[in-house]
Amino acid sequence: MPLPIPIPVGSENVCAIILDYFGAVKTQQCVLSLVGQRVKTVYILDNSASEHASSKLAENVANVIDSNPGFEIKILKPTKNLGFGRGVNFVLSYDRQSALPHDYYLLLNNDAIAGPNLITTMLAEFNKDASVSLVAPRVVSNEPGREFGIWYHRYFGLLLSRAGCGRFHYFTGCCLLLSRDLITPSGIFDESFFMYGEDAELGWRLTRLGKKTICASNAFVMHEYGPSIDRASFFYEYHMTRGHLLLTSKTSMHPIEIPFLLFLKLMAITVRATVRCCRHRTFTPIYSLLVAWLPLRVDKI
């Protein structure tokens, strides 16, 4: 396998990838936070599959372009909502097939705001250590335990803030800077996941492959965790539950381990669903648990 070709310091070619779903105002604020950062191109994937939402997004993006942000903005519009992982892979494929593909890819949630010198600080981590494949910043939110990533419990599907037995670490898809050498022909994310769980699977896979992923503690993004999606909706409950079920097999160390993992995780997410039914006074969590085994097309919040 050929060694990665080093990228000269100061010549890094960076693009940002932002996914939009009926969030034109938030997307505009997110893009504006990249002004003055070391980014050459901003790709916005319009996942709304709505003419009205697309028109609003185009209008807000036009306002940013009129302000001369210092980088090119391209809106990509698939025919349907691709979800998170497949949406990112779609943009990566588009860029890698272009005449001048980029060296680094910044994945940034549209409801996140980039802190000062975000990209410069994260790039410095690549320049300090050639073995680094992925860099994440601190994620400053109303969930302080997740500022430096999450520890996922393989047995019970718990999202925890510290290391422990049965847990592995990963950085959320809120903000990640990827080296071009990490991108495969199929992209970066496992498209079995529509929403939720793909970043955990990525963290597990990179760890198993011996790839180095680090947090640039001097860089940060502001991200308000959770309020953009109704936590009692079928969309959220279905994809969150399905994500946990998919992770059961995706994060197994050996096929013989899967039944044991599945048994424990089923107990945990059943308790979770029952508690959420009582909290939100709806049977949606239990119903979602029953149908999460099926690959349904649930792409509307």
Q: Are residues 132 and 241 in the same domain?
A: no
Indicate if 263 and 205 belong to the same structural domain.
Answer: no
Which of the four pLDDT bands, split at 50, 70 and 90, describes residue 230?
confident
Instruction: Identify whether residues 190 and 118 lie together within a single domain.
Output: yes
Number of domains forming the structure of the chain: 2
Distances in Å between the Cα of 81 and the Cα atoms of 1, 44, 48, 197, 236 are 36, 13, 6, 17, 15
pTM: 0.93
- Find the CATH number of the domain harbouring 120: 3.90.550.10
Specify the higher pLDDT residue, 141 or 27: 27
What domain range includes position 273? 234-291
pLDDT tens figures, 77-118: 999 999 999 999 999 999 999 988 999 999 999 999 999 999
> Considering 223, 256, 273, which residue would you say is the last residue of a domain?
223
Which runs of E-coded beta strand occur in 194-289? Answer: 212-223
- Local structure of 182: helix, strand or coil: helix
Question: Residue 288: what pLDDT?
Answer: 96
Burial class of residue 178, CB neighbours in 10 A (0-12, 13-18, 19+): buried
State the Cα–Cα distance between residues 278 and 295, nearest whole angstrom.
26
> Confidence band (pLDDT; 50, 70, 90) for 43?
very high
Same domain for 157 and 185?
yes
Question: Which residues, listed in sequence order, are joined to residue 215 by a DSSP beta bridge?
Answer: 136
Q: For 141-146, what is the mean pLDDT?
A: 83
Same domain, 212 and 245: no
How high is the pLDDT of residue 2?
45
Average predicted confidence (pLDDT) for the chain:
93
> Is 173 inside a domain boundary?
yes
* Nearest-angstrom CA–CA distance, 107 and 273: 31
Query: How much is the pLDDT for 228?
Result: 59
Q: Would residue 62 count as lying in a domain?
A: yes
User: What is the mean predicted confidence (pLDDT) over 112-136?
Assistant: 95
Same domain, 112 and 22: yes
Contact 190, 234 (CB under 8 A): no
Euclidean distance between CA atoms 34 and 114, whole angstroms: 6
Q: How do residues 154-175 score in pLDDT, each as one tens digit? A: 999 999 999 999 999 999 999 9
Q: Which of 181, 233, 193, 12 has the alpha carbon at shortest distance from 88?
A: 193
Q: Strand 72-76 and strand 104-108: pairing?
A: unpaired
DSSP state of 188: S
The per-residue DSSP string of 267-291 comes to HHHHHHHHHHHHHHT-SHHHHHHHH
Sheet holding 212-223, edge to edge: 72-76, 41-46, 14-20, 104-108, 175-179, 132-140, 212-223, 112-114
Which range among 45-54, 168-177, 224-233 shows the weakest confidence by mean pLDDT?
Answer: 224-233
pLDDT at 224: 77
Asked whether residue 203 falls in the same domain as residue 81, the answer is yes
Question: Tell me, what's the pLDDT at 182?
Answer: 94
Q: Are residues 94 and 189 in the same domain?
A: yes
Q: Give the mean model confidence (pLDDT) for residues 291-297.
A: 95
How do beta strands 104-108 and 14-20 pair?
Answer: parallel
